[in-house]
Amino acid sequence: MESMASGIGVSVPVLRFLLCFAATIPVSFLHRFVPGGTVGRHLFAAVTGAFLSCLPFGLSSNFHFIVPMLLGYASMVFCRKYCGIIAFILGFGYLIGCHVYYMSGDAWKEGGIDATDTQILSSTNLVSKCIDRGILALMVITLKIISCVINYNDGLLKEEDLRPVYEMNDYLDWTERKGMWQCTKHGFSPSPYVATLRALLQAAVCMGLYLYLGPRFPLSRFAEPVYQDYGFWKRLSYQYMSGFTARWKYYFIWSISEASVIISGLGFSGWTDSNPPKPRWDRAKNVDVLGVELAKSSVQLPLVWNIQVSTWLRHYVYERLVLKGKRPGFVQLLATQTVSAVWHSLPESQSSNTS
C-alpha cells in the first residue's frame, strides 16, 4: 500500500480513506437489494458503515464517534423537550474537547500527533493528520447527530410550527421504502444509474485536473524561498492558480459522495415541473462546480459551495434563532457565523499548532 500511496502522491492514511470512500459506491448499490426488509437494511447500513469507518480511522477513533451518539440518544430519552439544545451543546463540546486533547502536550507524547512531517502547508498532509485522529469524520458525525436529535425534538411541535427539514424522517422513509421511495412492480422508480454515471464522470474529470495541476501549483511553495523571489503579478497569479487547483480535490471527493448517495436511491429528491417531468437527484449535492468558478460575487458562494453544511447552518442555527413573528437580523447572522467559524476552524487550527 505504501508504494501505491507514493505513486499517486498521498500518504497511506489518505489512500486508505480514499479507497474506503470509493467503496461506499458499491456498498450503496448493494443496499438496494438487501433481504430482510427494514431490519435487514438497517443492519447492513450499520455493519458496512462501521467496517468502512474502522479501516481508515482505526478502532480508537470510532470509539470517539460513539460518545456523541450516546449523548444524543440519552438527551432524547431523558429530556425530549430540550434534547435539541442539549445535543447541540454536548456535541460541539465533545468535538472541541477532542480537538483540544489532540493538540495537547500529553497527546503529543503519546503519539497522537505526528511531528515528523514538516510540510504542514501541504493539504494532503493536513488531511492525513486529521484522518489519523478521525477529526474530520467526527466533525461531520456531530452535525448529523445534532440534526437527528433536533428532528426528534420537532416531533413535539404543532403542525403549523414544524420546521421545513426532516432529514431523519426522509432516511426512515427511504429505508422502509415509503413515500417517494415506494417500490413499484418494476422496482425502484426512477433509475439512478444515469445520474450516478454523471457524478462519477464529474469526479474523474476533477481528479484528473487536480493530478495535473497539483504538482505545478503546490500550496507548499508559499513557504519556499523561490516564492519570495516572485514579482507582484507572478505572486498574484500563483495565489489564484494554487487556490483554483486546490478546489478540484474537494470537487472530486464531493462528487464521489454524491454518486454514492444517488446509487443507493436516497439521493432522489422529487420530480421537476417540466413536461414530461424528470427526476431530481440533488439531495446529496454538495457543490455546483460551474456555480463556484463563475460566481459573480461572494454572496453566491454559500449557495454553491459546501451546500450541505451551508444548509445545515441555515436550518439548524439561523432559522431556529428567529422568534415567531419576527424577522432575522444581526444576532442570528452572528450566531450562525460563529458556529460556522468554530466548526471549520478545527482542522485548520490543528495545522497551525503542529507547524
Residues annotated as part of the active site: 344
Rounded Cα–Cα distance for residues 133 and 110 (Å): 13
> Which residues contact residue 72 at a Cβ distance below 8 angstroms, ignoring those fewer than 6 apart?
83, 87, 90, 91, 145, 146, 148, 149
Is the peptide bond between 347 and the residue preceding it cis, with omega within 30 degrees of 0? no
* Nearest-angstrom CA–CA distance, 69 and 87: 9
- Residues with Cβ < 8 Å from 217, sequence gap 6 or more? 238, 241, 242, 244, 245
End-to-end CA distance of the chain: 27
Q: What would the DSSP string read from start to end of 44-89?
A: HHHHHHHHHHHHHH-HHHHHHHHHHHHHHHHHHHH-GGGHHHHHHH
With beta carbons less than 8 A apart as the criterion, state whether 91 and 145 touch.
Answer: yes
SS3 (DSSP) at 271: strand
What is the torsional sign of CA 200, 201, 206, 211?
positive
Alpha helices in the chain (DSSP H): 2-8, 12-31, 37-57, 59-78, 83-103, 105-109, 123-133, 135-154, 167-176, 193-213, 225-228, 232-264, 289-293, 301-304, 307-313, 330-354
